[in-house]
Structure formats: structure tokens, C-alpha cells
Structure 1
Amino acid sequence: MYKINDYVVYGSTGSCEIVDIVMEKDISNNDTEYYVLQPAYDNNITIKTPVNNPKVLMRPIMTKEDVLSLIATMPELEPILASDDRHKNESYKAALKTGQSEEWVKIIKALYIEQQQRLEVGKKLAKADDDIMKAAEKNLHEEFALALNISPDEVHPYILAHVH
């Protein structure tokens, strides 16, 4: 069980702080314990989820050592590849929902490669792909920022400086 002030990755929402743990009646009028989550970089929303909710992935954010280890393996990580656009989009969405940083890196790598190929012929990334890439980058950068104690804007330059 997590504690107040712990940081977690909550589904596809990304990095959140547990700001409270409350006991309330659920829809069946049973007493249920809830985590009250605040997205780490968005103070405008609060999320309440049952402590024992098996439907939503929730995990602790990575440690600084985990982040440095993932950065070191980034060059070897294979991007997510799919045979056609429909399967590609489904693969990206499924990988995004895993809440796993390594999967976010694979999405970003795949879409970065595609973005570069499209730029060479004067085209932009499809909107759906651009949205997925932005979501994966947001989640990855926010988690890395918390683990490294830097701002999300500093994460990309940090990664570039540490990838060999």
C-alpha cells in the first residue's frame, strides 16, 4: 500500500502524487478506502481511485538509478513496429496504457523515426501519431523529472547528454 506523498504512475494519466487516503462509501454502500491523486504537473484535477482497484495500473515512479539504467539501454530498445496504420495505432495505444516507461521509449523511438522520414518528403506526422507521441513524451518526461529532481523541460537535454 502506498502512503501520502508517494509518487506513482497512474495508468495513462502518468505521474501523480498521493495527496490523501480516505474512507468513503462506494456505490454498493460499502466502506472503501481510496487514494486521492494529484497529477504531478497539473494542479487542476484530482483523481480518486479505490486502493484495491485491479483495473488500473498503478506503480511507484522509477528511482534515479532505474532512470539512468533505462537511459543507458535506450539505444538498444527496439521501436514498436506494425505492418499497417490501424495495427500501428492500436499497438501504440496499448503500449501507452501499460504505464511502463520502457514501452513509452519504444513508442517515442518509432514515431521519431517516422517523423524524420516524413519530414524528408515534406510531410508531418499524422495527428493521431503526434498525439500519442506527445502523451508518451509527457509521461516519460514527468516521471524522469521527478526521479532526477529536475523539471520536465530539462529531461530531453538530460537524456541526450547521457545516451552513448
Structure 2
Amino acid sequence: MFNVGEFVLCVRGGVWKVIDVIGNEYHLQKHESEEMITVPVADSKEIVRKVTSKEQLLELIDRVGFITTIKAPNDKIRKEFYVDALNEFDEVEWVKVIKSVYLRQQDGRFMEGELEYADKAKSFLHGEISVVLGIPVREVDGYISSAVSDDKW
């Protein structure tokens, strides 16, 4: 069960704050938005987990330069890898997607729709970093860039 004031990740995208628990329903507000949703407490499919700890996120940021990209022999398999990575709801997997798309875009060889995968990964990762470190989402890219010596974003 999640408590009022906690931040959680939802399948529909991004980071949400538990505003209230009334009866068997969570009332959630999207981070840095006025958007609200109601989720049944018993619906374990919508809320994935609480946001990661500050220590884990800072360690992740330190390792960004060492996290490998996603390699695939063709676009169809690459798309499957991206979908699987996003469905893990894991910060390292999100970094892999973001780095892979960024580097493929720099090389001018990214596939149609590939940016959407990176945007979804950023929505989760940047939302978590924003909440945990107390910085606006729009400043997360800059924060990561300044924290990583070899900027691959």
C-alpha cells in the first residue's frame, strides 16, 4: 500500500503523487501537472512502484557514461528491445533507451517513432530525478549533463 505524499510510477506514464486514499481508491496527481487520476487500491497493474531512493539515483547518474546502449540487427528487433526496456520500469533500462536513441539520432540513422521511446523513458527517469532531487523536470537534462563528464545525452 502507498501512503499520502509518496511518489509512484504509473504505467500510463510518469511520476504521480498520492494525494489521498479514500476507501479503496488512490487519488493521484501527475508530477508538475494538474492532471489527476483515481486508481483502485487493488489495481496492482497501474501503479508500478515507488520512486527510487536518492542514493540509487545519484549512483545511476555517476554510471551513465558506462551504461551500454541497445544493439539490434534491425529496426523490428530494436523496437521490441525498446518496448521491453520501457516495460521493465528500471532506471538503467531507461538510460539505455535514451542513450541509444540519442546516439542513433546523432548518426542520422534512427527509425520512425524512435524518439517517442526516448521521450517515454525521459518522462519516467527525469520525473524520478526531479522528485527525488527536488529540481524542476526542465532542469534535469542540464543537471545530468553537468554531473556526467562524457556527456552522451
Is the TM value for this pair above 0.5? yes
Paired residues of 2:8 and 2:47 also in contact (CA < 8 A): no
| Residues 8 and 17 in structure 1, CA contact (< 8 A), matched pair in contact too | yes
Partner of 1:27: none
Q: Which moved more, 1:48-57 or 1:4-13?
A: 48-57
Paired letter, 2:4? I
Determine the structure 2 residue equivalent to 1:126.
Answer: 111
Alignment check: 8 A CA contact 1:20 1:35 kept: yes
What is the total number of aligned residue pairs between the two structures?
Answer: 149
Whether the aligned pair in 2 keeps the contact of 1:57 and 1:99 (CA below 8 Å) is no
Cα pair distance change 1:83/1:57, threshold 3 Å? farther
Corresponding residue number in structure 1 for 2:9? 9
Shift of 1:129: 0.2
Aligned mates of 2:3, 2:70 — CA distance in 1? 35
In the alignment, is residue 77 of structure 1 matched against residue 101 of structure 2?
Answer: no
Distance in 2 separating the partners of 1:148 and 1:75 = 20
Paired with 1:90 and 1:112, the residues of 2 have a C-alpha distance of 18
Distance of 2:4 and 2:68 partners within structure 1: 36
TM-score where L is the length of structure 1: 0.82
Give the letter for the 1:90 counterpart. E
Give 2:19's aligned amino acid: V
User: What does 1:3-152 align with in structure 2 at a 5 Å threshold?
Assistant: 3-23=3-23, 33-43=24-34, 45-118=35-108, 125-152=110-137
Match status 1:162 vs 2:143 = no
Asked if the contact 2:13–2:123 (Cα under 8 Å) also holds between the matched residues in 1, the reply is no
Structure 1 runs of 4+ aligned residues shifted over 6 Å read: none
Give the unaligned 5+ runs of structure 2.
none
Unaligned runs of 5+ in 1: 24-32
Aligned to 1:13, the other structure's residue is in SS state: coil
Q: Work out the percentage of aligned pairs sharing the same amino acid.
A: 30
Q: Distance in 2 between matches of 1:141 and 1:54?
A: 23
**What displacement does 1:109 show?**
0.8
Q: What is the distance in 2 between the residues matched to 1:91 and 1:48?
A: 31
Q: Over aligned residues, Cα RMSD in angstroms?
A: 1.7
Q: CA separation of 1:21/1:62 partners in 2, compared to 1, >3 Å: closer, same or farther?
A: same
What is the CA deviation profile of residues 49-84 of structure 1, one whole-angstrom value per residue up to 9, with x for unaligned ones?
222323335211122222110001111211122221
Say whether the 8 Å CA contact 2:8–2:17 is kept in structure 1. yes
Instruction: Tell me how far apart the structure 2 counterparts of residues 57 and 127 of structure 1 sit (CA, whole Å).
Output: 29
